[in-house]
């Protein structure tokens, strides 16, 4: 048996789907963020395997920038969660309905 690019891509799709379902099902904003991290990581797997199969470092560069964006997203997202929780402890994503006019 030989490890081909398709193995990595199938793994990537599985992780992406799990993350997407988690994002849709969970209500705790922190867990929703973790699901987004799962999706970003699955894309990183795909990027690196594409880069490897094309003998190109571009895939790894994409992962590098995805890492930076993931870090930034977490910083701003967690700051928002902290700010929201300070006013409304135990707020969940469903409480967005409070924004209804």
Partner 1 sequence: MSEVIVFIVAAAMILVGAVGVVASRNPVHSALFLVETLFGVAVIFLIQNANFLAAVQIIVYAGAIVILFLFVIMLLGVDKAEELDVEPIAGQRPLAAVLGAALLGIGLTVVLVASNGVTGAIAATGSEHALDNGFSDVERIGRVLFTEYAFAFQATAALLTIAVIGAVVLTRRVPSTEMLPDREPASFELPPLAPAIDEEEH
Say whether residue 96 binds partner 1 (CB under 8 A): no
Single residue of 81, 96, 100, 101 touching partner 1 by CB under 8 A:
81
Whole-angstrom distance, CA of residue 62 vs CA of residue 56: 11
Residues 11-70 contacting partner 1, CB under 8 A:
11, 13-22, 24-28, 30-31, 33-35, 37-38, 41, 44-45, 48-58, 60-61, 63-65, 67-70
Query: Is the alpha carbon torsion for 19, 24, 34, 80 positive or negative?
Result: positive
- What token pair was written down for 53? 């199969």
- Tell me the CA distances in angstroms from 24 to 1, 36, 48, 59, 93, one per residue in order: 37, 11, 27, 29, 10
Closest contact distance (angstroms) between CB of 15 and partner 1 is: 5
Q: Under rule CB under 8 A, how many of the chain's residues touch partner 1?
A: 76
Query: Is the alpha carbon torsion for 21, 22, 25, 30 positive or negative?
Result: negative
Closest contact distance (angstroms) between CB of 78 and partner 1 is: 5
């Amino acid at each position: 048996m030989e490890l081909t690019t398709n193995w990595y891509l199938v793994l990537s799709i599985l992780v992406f789907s799990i993350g997407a379902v988690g994002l849709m099902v969970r209500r705790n904003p922190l867990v929703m963020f973790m699901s987004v991290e799962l999706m970003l990581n699955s894309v990183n797997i795909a990027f690196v395997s594409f880069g490897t199969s094309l003998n190109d470092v571009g895939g790894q560069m994409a992962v590098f920038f995805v890492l930076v964006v993931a870090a930034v997203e977490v910083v701003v997202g967690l700051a928002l969660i902290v700010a929201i929780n300070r006013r409304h402890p135990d707020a969940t994503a469903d409480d967005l309905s409070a924004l209804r006019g």
